[in-house]
Structure 1
């Protein structure tokens, strides 16, 4: 059994305890409305607010007899690149408010216009509803901005960003890159970190299986790349990728496997396993030194992935 008392420093342990304090022992049995209320309360408690120099606008974009809420963040001195951001929450939780401060800091820290997508959630909307919304948001953004687009996703949003990256790799405005933060990518749950960190703080292997089952009504979609990016048989042409995972997280091996798959297909990919951190550590970026350092690395990767095409955009 993994001893997290030796892997987590005092700051990270305090973050884990603070997070757990919001949840009752039977949290997995709660009605979805109650689960969402607890999650939103927890996110508000960790919110650092928006930094100065960022303006925010909430809108909705049309998409096939529906509208998709989005929130756009712009820096006072913006660059010409844009970030399309997908929040975490197991495809069941979260929205524009739950990750508002993170998006605002991504905008401030990179200069990129950042668009957060309030995609449809399970269990009300299952199957590919969230991916359909992601595709629609990308198509809208591709028609709206001139500069390069970097996809960024956290946890479930990381899976969504990767599925989107696969689907639009041949688009005339194909993404300049993608940054995936402790993503769920559909890896082998009988090996690697799924075993070593099956009972990790804040996210267990059982939690991963639960969220996957809710999204798909318990159907086996392990071979369908619309749900599991690691099921994609051909990763050639996928945008340059940076994956950040937490060491103490059952999902960490997914990042390694995805990097290896892209490299084997001739693409560009880096994997960063952040030592001594747990799933959801972005919420701790102001209280945990390791999380703060990782967030800085994430911002640098976003800038790096956008930069090569910025010059092309100016020249063109």
Structure 2
């Protein structure tokens, strides 16, 4: 059963749309959609830990410097495990602000420093710009580990939704990089982009993530006809052996739940340590809506605790 507090929120939003129907996504400029998403998610997450220090900085992207934010948990020593984190939003929306509370909870609960990366977004920067930035920023984190307080032997990548896709893609890209060996990958309701439609993509149209939104994100990204589409469409990855161990988190009311579960199974079949945790009563994007239901805080605490164990 859907968490009753999320059910109430969704019903309230549906009622509001009855009174004021929204235009199609294609009829709105991306910046307007980004601003609306930022405003909504910030309003739903105003009680994140404040004892986590946050510092804005610039890191190396694929075509020059890009913005990032380094979160340092209270009481951290000069060196801690590190998580390079990529926000979700279909490769089109989302930023450092939408995910600020979530990254604070990850840092506070795991004891790891978190480097949130503001990679370039489509449609202004179509595929593979975001993937290239994610890879470059992760390499930068390894190469500048001493500066940002990362233990280079305990660096993970992570992300939610589209950010989970980026994290999984980076893990594959760095599999054979002996100088930059990832310790872990944290994949939160990841968009694996399966080769064939899953049952959950077929049967679920929302809540939160709708078929129309998925189609718009895919159109903006413009990856499907690119020669390197396999970097995003991870359902086509034939060999997963040797990638970093993973935690895959899914939500019961999420069109992406089956592909996340299946990716964890494929990792295990390839001999990779992979745990799959499902929250059957929750929805896509739940980590960013901590003020909606206490269930989010519980899931966030469990996820951060798992990250802490994984990074030692």
Alpha-carbon distance in 1 for matches of 2:13, 2:65:
33
Runs of 4+ in 1 over 6 A off after TM superposition: none
Give unmatched runs, 5+ long, in structure 2.
Answer: 146-150
Displacement of 1:224 in angstroms is: 3.2
Query: What stretches of structure 1 of length at least 5 have no aligned partner?
Result: 1-6, 308-316
Return the TM-score normalized by structure 1: 0.88
Q: Which residue of 2 aligns with 1:77?
A: 75
Q: Deviations over 1:108-144 (max 9, x none)?
A: 1111111000000000001110011111111111022
Per-residue deviation, 1:229? 1.7
Q: Residue 47 of structure 1 aligns with which residue?
A: 45
Residue matched to 2:198: 191
RMSD: 2.2
Pair 1:173–1:18, CA change in 2 (3 A): farther
Show CA shifts across 1:250-309 (max 9, x none).
1001111101111111111111221111111112334313322221221122112211xx
Q: Secondary structure at the match of 2:33?
A: helix
Point out which structure has higher relative CO (alpha carbons under 8 A, 6+ apart). 2
CA distance in 2, matches of 1:269, 1:65: 33
| 1:136-215 superposed matches below 5 A | 136-145=136-145, 146-147=151-152, 148-171=154-177, 172-188=179-195, 190-197=197-204, 199-215=205-221
User: Judging changes above 3 Å, is the alpha-carbon distance between structure 1 residues 222 and 200 closer, same or farther for their aligned structure 2 residues?
Assistant: farther
Aligned counterparts, 1:98-117, within 5 A:
98-117=98-117
Does the CA contact (< 8 Å) of 1:178 and 1:239 recur in 2? yes
CA–CA separation in structure 2 for the residues paired with 1:116 and 1:71: 5
How many angstroms does 1:64 deviate by?
5.2
Q: How far apart, CA to CA, are the structure 2 residues paired with 1:9 and 1:62?
A: 41
Aligned residue runs from structure 1 range 80-99, under 5 A: 80-99=80-99
The answer to whether the 8 Å contact 1:187/1:257 transfers is: no
Residue 81 of structure 1 aligns to a residue whose secondary structure is: strand
Deviation (angstroms), 1:150 = 1.5
Matches within 5 A, 1:1-316: 7-17=1-11, 24-28=21-25, 29-63=27-61, 65-78=63-76, 80-145=80-145, 146-147=151-152, 148-171=154-177, 172-188=179-195, 190-197=197-204, 199-216=205-222, 219-220=224-225, 224-307=229-312
Query: What's the CA shift for 1:244?
Result: 0.6
User: Hey, what's the Cα distance between the residues in 1 that align with 2:50 and 2:188?
Assistant: 25
Are the equivalent residues in 1 in contact too, given 2:195–2:236 (CA < 8 A)? no
TM normalised by structure 2 equals: 0.89
Change (3 A) 1:40 1:64: closer
Corresponding residue for residue 148 of structure 2: none
Q: Distance in 1 between matches of 2:228 and 2:116?
A: 28
